[in-house]
Amino acid sequence: MPARKPRYFRVIYYDRDKCTCNISGITCDDTAVTARTCQLQQQGRNVNISTTDPETDKSRVPSAESLLRQLPDGYTHDPELSW
């Protein structure tokens, strides 16, 4: 059986308390980010993440710039936001 091709995507970080967000670089594993998000939520933080659709072709992953043009109303970009 051939190995499964990696799936590439970006993680979008949301801090709902501060109405800020940030976009990750291209990745193929969000396990650590998801675990850290759960920890922060258990500590009472109003944070969450989402991801772009996974792509087998890295060049098809949306650019961070294009995603930043689609911020939710009232949100600002915080380039330091990540966990």
pLDDT of residue 4: 84
71-83 pLDDT, tens digit per residue, is 999 999 999 999 9
pLDDT of residue 3: 80
Check residue 56 and report its DSSP letter: S
The domain segmentation of the chain, as residue ranges, is 11-77
Check residue 45 and report its DSSP letter: -
Distance CA 62, CA 44 (A): 31
Task: Return the sign of the alpha-carbon dihedral for residues 17, 19, 25, 29.
Answer: positive
The pair of three-digit structure tokens given for residue 11, joined into one six-digit string: 């993680």
Distance CA 67, CA 27 (A): 15
Predicted confidence band of residue 2 (pLDDT cuts 50, 70, 90): confident
- Mean predicted confidence (pLDDT) in 48-60: 97
The pair of three-digit structure tokens given for residue 18, joined into one six-digit string: 């501060």
- Mean predicted confidence (pLDDT) in 11-32: 97
- The pTM (predicted TM-score) of the whole model is 0.91
Distance CA 46, CA 51 (A): 17
